[in-house]
């Protein structure tokens, strides 16, 4: 198991993935239920991955561009940021011809499945919880694939997801 960041309370994140590209079910079927989170091609999200996301942080696995939009479960970061090798390979979906292995532009982390919600928490259900009104994913125009989640938001969404399991 990877060593957790020392002297730092875990942070919480929401990572978006299109369910038809990579779903929580696919992660559940992976050996060790672990995968690398690649393909982030937005500088703000990259900076969070590279500079802020650390081993031991909690991650909501969010199915975006699906019907319904939903928090499908919980993961944990098990490897901190390292260069996203898919940016260097022209055969990869997330290839970036401007990316240079000697000075990487893009980064990824490894996550491990902790819990798949038996009944995911839909965006509509998030919307109905007044205490989640300020959650980054709920903001109009929020398009980032990685967003921070406050400890209070984390607790509420976990309770919502687990109350129906």
pLDDT in tens, the chain (165 residues): 556 666 788 999 999 999 889 999 999 999 899 999 999 999 999 999 999 999 999 999 999 988 999 999 999 999 999 999 999 999 999 999 999 999 999 999 999 999 999 899 999 999 999 999 999 999 887 788 999 999 999 999 999 998 754
SS (H, E, C) 95-139: CCCCCECCECCCEEEEEEEEEEEEEEEEHHHHHCCHHHCCCHHHC
Q: What is the pTM of this model?
A: 0.92
Domain ranges of the chain: 12-162
Report the sign of the C-alpha dihedral through residues 132, 5, 105, 83, in that order: negative
3-state helix, strand, coil in the chain (%, to 5): 25, 35, 40
Q: Kindly indicate whether the domain formed by 12-162 is annotated with CATH number 1.10.490.130.
A: no
Round to whole Å and give the CA distance between 165 and 147: 25
């Amino acid at each position: 198991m990877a060593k957790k960041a020392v002297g730092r309370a875990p942070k919480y994140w929401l990572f978006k993935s299109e369910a038809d590209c990579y779903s929580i079910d696919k992660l559940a079927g992976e050996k060790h239920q672990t995968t690398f989170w690649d393909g982030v091609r937005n500088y703000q999200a990259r900076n969070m991955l590279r500079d802020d996301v650390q081993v031991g942080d909690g991650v909501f696995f969010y199915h975006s561009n699906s019907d319904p939009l939903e928090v499908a479960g919980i993961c944990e970061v098990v490897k901190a940021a390292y260069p996203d090798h898919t940016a260097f390979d022209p055969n990869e979906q997330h290839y970036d011809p401007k990316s240079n292995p000697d000075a990487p532009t893009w980064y990824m982390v490894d996550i491990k499945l902790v819990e798949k919600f038996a009944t995911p928490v839909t965006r509509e259900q998030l919307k109905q919880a007044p205490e989640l009104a300020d959650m980054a994913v709920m903001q109009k125009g929020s398009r980032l694939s990685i967003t921070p989640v406050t400890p209070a938001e984390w607790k509420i969404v976990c309770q919502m997801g687990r109350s129906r399991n």
